[in-house]
Structure 1
Amino acid sequence: MPDDTKISRKEFVKKATLTGVGVSVAPFSIVQAKNNQKVRIGFIGVGLRGTSHVEGLAERPDVEIPALCDIRRDNALQAQKIVEEAGLPSPELYTQGETDYKRMLSRDDLDGVIIATPWLWHVPMAVEAMKTGKYVGLEVPAATTIDGCWDLVKTSEATGMPCMLLENACYFRNILAVLNMVREGVFGEMIHARCGYNHDLVSNNVLMTEGGDFGPGTGAESNWRTRHHINRNGDLYPTHGIGPVAHWMDINRGNCFKTITSTATKSRILHDEIVERGGHNHPKADIEFKQSDLVTSTITTANGESIIVTFSTTLPQVHDQDYRCQGTRGIWQIGNNSIYLKGVNAYDEWEPFDKYQEKYDSILWKKEGENASGESHGGIDYFVRKAFVESIKKNTTPPIDVYDAAAWSSIIPLSEESAAQGGHPVEFPDFTDGKWMTNERIFATR
């Protein structure tokens, strides 16, 4: 960021924290930024996901990458090479153990940091980054416990530093078109939605190797992700599904989640797959996996809608996030990419969504679809990264803020609690402290 600012961000945060100043004083107006100046971003975690972000941001003319951190030096060296090949100065590497990220965050030449590490590190790293005056771009989920969600919210409020959840699914072209239709009342009043994360991560060897192994030294995600299935049982990865739905229903902006009821099936696939791949004498064949093969949750909202959310990463299936948007005058669903509107379509007959996609297409995709076309995940990563960079440049709240991060991620522990009680309803905390009733929309408003 510019050298001619009236006060450095780090200096402001230090003073604000000491005096108890929070976000209500809009600290972003104090550190003035200009749109034509480059944003300096550091990275914590440059495995598969982090490297993808490095690749995308290294191509942006308004971004510099001064520092990279990873516990695996080979990961850091690979990411460093990507930055150099993009024509940027070689970033400094921080690879001296699990807490070396703190040394990186002590730098004065970072405006923001992207965190793409195993889930249990998200909260401590994001908290430290905000305390040192950095914008945070946090991979999903933001947290895995209620305490972790509160830590993110309270730190952001105390320091005045934003924390953006990097939920790319909110930027799918069809999802944004449906959002425009919801806001224009095409579906009438919102009544119900469906979503989920149903992705076979066993057959593609994400949760275990071809030999049925997992744990340290086995792979990018089987190295850490599979262990969550041993001791947890809930919706472990809700934000890809709930993010778009939360925007359709104005969650945290005139509406909020109220309760969740979750049920969980038996657990079979991981054990059976280990035996099938490695035999009954496989060293992990005796592990009892607590995580069920399918978790189904029903969420209620303050405005009287319901949401069904599903989670399954072990069952054989085609990747599907099962989006459905339903109101008093019609319905859209992703399964057949079709729509039915009362008074428009013949009774009981679906209509292809194509003409609605064209009519209600997002201005984001109209203006920059060509730029996004070559980016990862069909272009949605381009938009989530752009939103993070633009928020820093404009010193403004990101379009997916810390309250969204907390509310969406809290589904993980709350679903665990409900499933453990046989599906008993569990109430959501109000991370906004009542501000959801008057908050204005900030996502896709221009």
Structure 2
Amino acid sequence: MTDFNRRKFLKTAGIATASALTGNVLAHSAAPVSPSQGASVIGLVTPKMDIVRVGFIGVGQRGIGHVKHFCHLDGVAITAICDTDDKVLNRAVSAVKEANLPVPETYTGSDYAYRDMLARDDIDIVIISTPWKWHAPMAIDTMESGKHAFVEVPLALSVEECWQIVDTAERTQKNCMMMENVNYGRDELMVLNMVRQGVFGELLHGEAAYIHELRWQMKELESKTGSWRTHWHTKRNGNLYPTHGLGPVSQYMNINRGDRFDYLTSMSSPALGRQLYAQREFAADHPRNQLNYINGDINTTLIKTKLGRTIMVQHDTTTPRPYSRHNLIQGTNGVFAGFPNRIALEQGGSGDFHKWDTDMSTWYAKYDHPLWQRMGKEAERNGGHGGMDFLMLWRMVYCLRNGEALDQDVYDGAAWSVINILSEQSLQNRSNSVDVPDFTRGMWANAKPLGIVGA
């Protein structure tokens, strides 16, 4: 960047960041739909990159895994890494050194050190793995600097932030992908393939969830995820984390690509579990016992789509029960359900849809997604939630290097993430329905569904 453009970027970035961070992330007013300042980025294709030059913001518990995976991807150069914690920053640099790759530049010292990294002209994409409140401002700043943004979930924390990100992506014509890794799991990819081949008939209903007991994170006081994530249970009552289950179901249903979320209604159970856990695990005068936990232990949100389909989305990181994302898709010919995997079909299955078929071997043999067939063993070898993390990053780099559209775009990230704040709005109004914004501005009706790609 020239000195003039660098100064202009830093000024613009400062305004964007200040607006996003000082604006009330718990705001309840839906931002009006304004005319786009640029073209739609559905199916956005950018010039091919021989080498994808990467910068990282945040390399703690989540980000370090991304750094290690990028060290094993072809056609990648790790240019720079930014983190406010010198310990985790040095750990990430060591991982790059151990892979016998050039030592990246580092940025630290303040919450805004990442802006100096963004001012470089030798970075193409930025991987953002920071606490939730930073996702939207950092993504906006990244696109304003002329780089593509890849952001951990959720993409944003308010309707306003979602619109700001969409507007910025359209104006700058830069990718802003929320890195929903679950879309790259073997089972989710197989079900997508089955849906595309009509195995379940016409789709009617889906179920998605994030059921993951995480009370133990409350013991992370000074650092790590629990040090900041715990406090969200004192700020918001709704579905705090909707995207892991919702992403795959949305792709099955062609959300934003032939259908879209229309409206939702939400309910929460009482908020009891975290206070009881704090009383049991901490001294009476401990800070964790001074918090007022308001987020219901179990949230259930129902979404209606424009085509009339229904989706149940649940959130529970508090109660003692096994992990589940549900991952259920029901059609006129039958159903797939996860955790554990099982299938029942009227035609094409065992012949008895009153009984579950739990043997997945025959289904994998017939419907394993071509992407998993090609890269599944490599993904499992490199790891990351069973290989889905590595496969997601590999696919991102493949698309950038080959001039192909990404599998997820900014509209997906906005639509899946906005369920967080809208579920709270519904709860605050006796579970009355709340409209879901159309972040595509009507383009969903003619957008092509995500195809079954082989690479």
Q: TM-score, normalised by structure 1?
A: 0.90
Quick one: which amino acid aligns to residue 51 of structure 1?
A: I
Aligned-partner SS, 2:352: coil
The equivalences for 1:368-383 within 5 A come to 368-374=375-381, 375-383=383-391
Q: What is the distance in 1 between the residues matched to 2:452 and 2:178?
A: 15
C-alpha displacement at 1:25, in angstroms?
9.2
Q: What is the distance in 2 between the residues matched to 1:164 and 1:67?
A: 20
Change (3 A) 1:261 1:134: same
Deviations 1:210-253 (A, max 9, x none): xxxx3xx2x30122111111111110111100000001100000
Q: What is the distance in 2 between the residues matched to 1:304 and 1:119?
A: 32
Root-mean-square deviation (CA, aligned residues, Å) is: 2.1
C-alpha displacement at 1:28, in angstroms?
7.2
Q: What is the distance in 2 between the residues matched to 1:384 and 1:326?
A: 26
Contact 1:372 1:379 in 2 (8 A): yes
Deviations 1:144-195 (A, max 9, x none): 1111111110000000001111101001111111111111111110001111
The equivalent residue for 2:273 is 269
Q: What is the distance in 1 between the residues matched to 2:162 and 2:176?
A: 11
Contact 2:133 2:157 in 1 (8 A): yes
The equivalent residue for 1:349 is 355
Contact 2:37 2:167 in 1 (8 A): no
C-alpha displacement at 1:105, in angstroms?
0.2
Return the match for 1:69 from 59, 82, 100.
82
Quick one: which amino acid aligns to residue 350 of structure 1?
A: W
C-alpha displacement at 1:271, in angstroms?
1.1
Change (3 A) 1:444 1:95: farther
Structure 1 unaligned residues grouped into runs of 5+ = 1-9
Quick one: which amino acid aligns to residue 87 of structure 2?
A: D
Deviations 1:375-405 (A, max 9, x none): 2110101111012212322344321100000
C-alpha displacement at 1:24, in angstroms?
5.1
Q: TM-score, normalised by structure 2?
A: 0.88
Aligned-partner SS, 1:192: strand
Residue 98 (1) aligns with residue 106 (2): no
Change (3 A) 1:174 1:98: same
Quick one: which amino acid aligns to residue 394 of structure 1?
A: N
Contact 2:254 2:450 in 1 (8 A): no
C-alpha displacement at 1:322, in angstroms?
1.1
The equivalent residue for 2:295 is 291
Q: What is the distance in 2 between the residues matched to 1:354 and 1:419?
A: 42
The equivalences for 1:24-63 within 5 A come to 32-34=47-49, 37-63=50-76
Q: What is the distance in 2 between the residues matched to 1:24 and 1:298?
A: 28
Return the match for 1:233 from 221, 234, 237.
237
Change (3 A) 1:442 1:134: farther
The equivalent residue for 1:22 is 38
The equivalences for 1:349-368 within 5 A come to 349-352=355-358, 353-368=360-375
Q: What is the distance in 2 between the residues matched to 1:141 and 1:397?
A: 21
Contact 2:44 2:175 in 1 (8 A): no
The equivalent residue for 2:22 is none
Quick one: which amino acid aligns to residue 415 of structure 1?
A: S
The equivalences for 1:94-173 within 5 A come to 94-173=107-186
The equivalent residue for 1:252 is 256
Return the match for 1:325 from 319, 322, 329.
329
Structure 2 unaligned residues grouped into runs of 5+ = 13-35
Contact 1:54 1:82 in 2 (8 A): yes
The equivalent residue for 2:426 is 418
C-alpha displacement at 1:443, in angstroms?
5.4
Return the match for 2:313 from 309, 332, 335.
309
Q: What is the distance in 2 between the residues matched to 1:257 and 1:151?
A: 19
Contact 2:264 2:433 in 1 (8 A): yes
Aligned-partner SS, 1:370: helix
Contact 2:144 2:168 in 1 (8 A): yes
Change (3 A) 1:251 1:135: same
Q: What is the distance in 2 between the residues matched to 1:442 and 1:93?
A: 37
Residue 397 (1) aligns with residue 394 (2): no
The equivalences for 1:155-234 within 5 A come to 155-202=168-215, 205-209=216-220, 214=221, 217=222, 219-234=223-238
Aligned-partner SS, 1:287: coil
Aligned-partner SS, 1:48: coil
